[in-house]
Amino acid sequence: MTVKEIFFETELKMKKTVESTQREFATVRTGRASSVLVEGIRVDYYGVSTPLKQLAAVSTPDARLIVIQPWDKNILGEIEKSIQKSDIGIMPTNDGKVIRLSMPSLTLERRSELDKILKKIAEDGHVSIRTARHTSIEHTRKAEKDKQITEDEKFKTQDDIQKLTDKYIKEIDSLLAAKEKDIQG
């Protein structure tokens, strides 16, 4: 494996980790309505488990309300059941045409709980990035041992990988800070 391949592979893994962490942050409910909260919910649609976003239009007319308007009115009940079974913790209101989800205000206790969850997600991201760094450093050491690169190239590559690691850890930290600010109100 060449130095460029090692570096490219490492950066790719780290970018994917940041994207994954960002997606996980998006699923944490902050008290502000977001269609991301319900899009992944799966609904039993005539015996097939189907993502909600394929069965209905999901909108957020204001900061505290999510409106789900199914294209097929016959599945309102199934959508409602799926939301109740999900772990979003919001009771749906069904008026026969649309389902409404009113976002409750966050209590101080719940904010503290969410903060812990966010920190865990961020730490998982950090661990994944450090694992990618460790793997790529092992590859550079092996390449040097196999005489594919010089000792100077090994140290330069390891230094570049560390800079990459710092960059992506900083990205996760800034995502965390933004999400924490969102939770605090």
Domain of 71, CATH number, reads 3.30.1360.40
For residues 143 and 179, membership in a common domain is answered with yes
For residues 91 and 63, membership in a common domain is answered with yes
For residues 96 and 112, membership in a common domain is answered with no
For residues 55 and 78, membership in a common domain is answered with yes
For residues 69 and 14, membership in a common domain is answered with no
For residues 56 and 147, membership in a common domain is answered with no
For residues 139 and 164, membership in a common domain is answered with yes
Of these ranges, 62-76, 109-123, 156-170, the one predicted with the greatest mean pLDDT is: 156-170
Among 102, 120, 136, where does a domain finish?
102
Q: How much is the pTM?
A: 0.67
Mean pLDDT of the chain: 88
- Domain range for 114 is 3-27+107-184
Confidence band of 167 (pLDDT split at 50, 70, 90): very high
**Which pLDDT value is given to residue 30?**
67
Q: Which of 26-35, 57-66, 175-184 has the lowest mean pLDDT?
A: 26-35
Confidence band of 105 (pLDDT split at 50, 70, 90): confident
The enclosing domain of 127 has a CATH number of: 1.10.132.20
Q: What percent of the chain has pLDDT over 70?
A: 98
SS3 letters across the chain: CCHHHHHHHHHHHHHHHHHHHHHHHHCCCCCCCCCHHHHCCEEEECCEEEEHHHCEEEEEEECCEEEEEECCHHHHHHHHHHHHHCCCCCCCEECCCCEEEECCCCCHHHHHHHHHHHHHHHHHHHHHHHHHHHHHHHHHHHHHHCCCCCHHHHHHHHHHHHHHHHHHHHHHHHHHHHHHHHHHC
For residues 41 and 7, membership in a common domain is answered with no
For residues 121 and 144, membership in a common domain is answered with yes
Render pLDDT for 2-59 as a digit per residue (tens, 0 to 9). Answer: 888 889 999 999 999 999 999 888 877 666 777 777 877 899 888 888 888 888 999 9
